[in-house]
Amino acid sequence: MAYAEIFATLAEVQHKAGENASATSKAAAYVTDFMFQVESQINAACRYNFSDNYATLNDDTRGLLKEVASNLAAIYVIQYDLSGFTSRIEAEDMINILRDAALRALNMLRDKKVSDFIREVA
């Protein structure tokens, strides 16, 4: 597969998915696929191609992208197979926490005032 993750690393996604997540869905091939989808979603939601312009972004913007991407990809890892968790509620709580953090950071990336602010910092 020619694609390589841009916004977050394999290890970052695996950490957020937790030790009870499926070994299959935490494998590099699965996470790479999830990250491709997530990065495309972020770019589309923000109407800006962060992937193509990643090298020009400042650390604050990269940090927000890492937060959103790793959280959303970890949700995909968790939902792939819930059987390893101590209960369905444990997995659902993790998904809800990751979703909430991802939505907060995504809203910041989409907010024009925040976008202007983090671009001025560079």
Query: What's the pLDDT at 45?
Result: 95
Query: What's the pLDDT at 1?
Result: 43
Query: What's the pLDDT at 112?
Result: 78
Token pair recorded at residue 37: 């989808």
pLDDT digits (tens, 9 = 90+) for 60-116: 899 999 999 999 999 999 999 999 999 999 999 999 999 999 999 999 999 877 777
Token pair recorded at residue 31: 């996470």
Backbone angles phi, psi at 111, to 5 degrees: -75, 120
Q: Domain ranges in the chain?
A: 16-121
Query: What's the pLDDT at 119?
Result: 66
pLDDT digits (tens, 9 = 90+) for 46-64: 999 999 989 988 888 999 9
Query: What's the pLDDT at 117?
Result: 72
Query: What's the pLDDT at 2?
Result: 45
CB of 14 within 8 A of CB of 31? Answer: yes
Name the DSSP letter for residue 86. Answer: S
Comparing C-alpha atoms, which of 28, 51, 29 is closest to residue 39?
Answer: 51
Q: How many degrees, rounded to 5, is the angle at CA 41 between CA 39 and CA 100? A: 95
Q: Beta-carbon neighbour count of residue 102 at 10 Å?
A: 21
Query: What's the pLDDT at 30?
Result: 95
Query: What's the pLDDT at 113?
Result: 79
